């Protein structure tokens, strides 16, 4: 859903040529973009076309033919992506201003994610991910707490943390198309702070 997409968008932006040029992204090719040793390793591509996405375009606003590129593979930054201007500044082959991205599926089904004690947030009032720091926050509109035997509805409270300091992240096997994103429907994260009653 939307929270999974916004978390994955942070990793997409870490590989963006403009953000690298502006020194917002500190990631370099060969660096791990994930902090935790356990969990799924992210593989992310920028893609010119996703079936059903109204962001699919053959050319960007500069008239550049948009290309597909794997930018993160198994949690490691492989390449930057970007428009012709910022790619030129970095001395890399441009992809064009790609608007779609795709993330590989993970190792756990949503049902498998639900077996352990967890808080499943089904609706946030908003999800904010800072592209510079990786700080993450969301106010819980509706969620479910599972203590191993009972599922309890939760409203209010918040989830916060830093995507740079996660213990682990697991991606669902199930995938979806959501506008400019094709990737896991759900993610399970260890290392976030939960507040509220």
pLDDT computed for residue 125 by the predictor: 87
pTM value is 0.91
pLDDT computed for residue 132 by the predictor: 83
pLDDT at 134 over 70: yes
The rounded mean pLDDT for the chain is 93
Q: Which helix (H) or strand (E) holds 71?
A: strand 69-73
Q: With 0-12 CB in 10 A as exposed, 13-18 as middle and 19+ as buried, what is 103?
A: buried
Domain map of the chain by residue range?
2-103, 110-195
**What does the angle CA 47 – CA 126 – CA 173 come to, to the nearest 5 degrees?**
45
Q: In the predicted model, what is the mean pLDDT of residues 102-129?
A: 93
pLDDT at 69 over 80: yes
Task: Give the pLDDT confidence of 153-183 residue by residue, as tens digits.
Answer: 999 899 999 988 888 999 999 999 999 999 9
Using only the alpha carbons of the chain, give its radius of gyration: 17
Distance in angstroms (rounded) separating the CA atoms of residues 11 and 45: 11
Confidence of residue 131 (pLDDT cuts 50, 70, 90): confident
Q: β-strand 38-39 against 168-171: which pairing, if any? A: parallel
Q: Are 164 and 85 in contact (CB under 8 A)?
A: no
How far, CA to CA in Å, does 197 sit from each of 69, 147, 156, 162, 177? 44, 15, 8, 22, 34
Q: What whole-number percentage of the chain has pLDDT above 90? A: 79
Q: Are 170 and 40 in contact (CB under 8 A)?
A: yes
Name residues whose C-beta falls within 8 Å of residue 179's C-beta, 6 or more positions apart in sequence.
53, 54, 55
Q: In the predicted model, what is the mean pLDDT of residues 30-54?
A: 92
pLDDT computed for residue 145 by the predictor: 93
Beta bridge partners of 118: 146
Distance in angstroms (rounded) separating the CA atoms of residues 142 and 157: 10
Confidence of residue 22 (pLDDT cuts 50, 70, 90): very high
Q: In the predicted model, what is the mean pLDDT of residues 35-51?
A: 92
Q: Which helix (H) or strand (E) holds 90?
A: helix 84-90
């Amino acid at each position: 859903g939307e929270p999974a997409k916004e978390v994955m968008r942070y990793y997409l932006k870490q590989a963006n040529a403009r953000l690298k040029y502006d020194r917002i992204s500190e990631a370099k090719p060969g660096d791990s973009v994930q902090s935790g040793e356990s969990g799924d390793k992210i593989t992310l591509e920028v893609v010119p076309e996703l079936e059903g996405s109204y962001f699919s375009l053959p050319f960007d606003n500069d008239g550049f033919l948009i290309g597909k590129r794997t930018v993160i593979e198994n949690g490691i930054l492989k390449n930057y992506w970007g428009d012709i201007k910022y790619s030129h500044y970095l001395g890399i082959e441009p992809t064009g201003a790609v608007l779609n991205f795709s993330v590989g599926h993970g190792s756990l089904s949503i049902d498998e994610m639900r077996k352990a004690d967890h808080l499943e947030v089904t609706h946030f009032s908003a999800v904010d991910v800072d592209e510079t720091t990786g700080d993450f926050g969301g106010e819980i509109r509706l969620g479910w707490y599972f203590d191993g035997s009972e599922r309890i509805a939760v409203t209010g409270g918040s989830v916060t943390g830093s995507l740079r300091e996660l213990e682990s992240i697991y991606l669902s096997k199930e995938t979806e198309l959501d506008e400019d994103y094709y990737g896991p429907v759900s993610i399970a994260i260890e290392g976030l702070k939960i507040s509220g009653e």
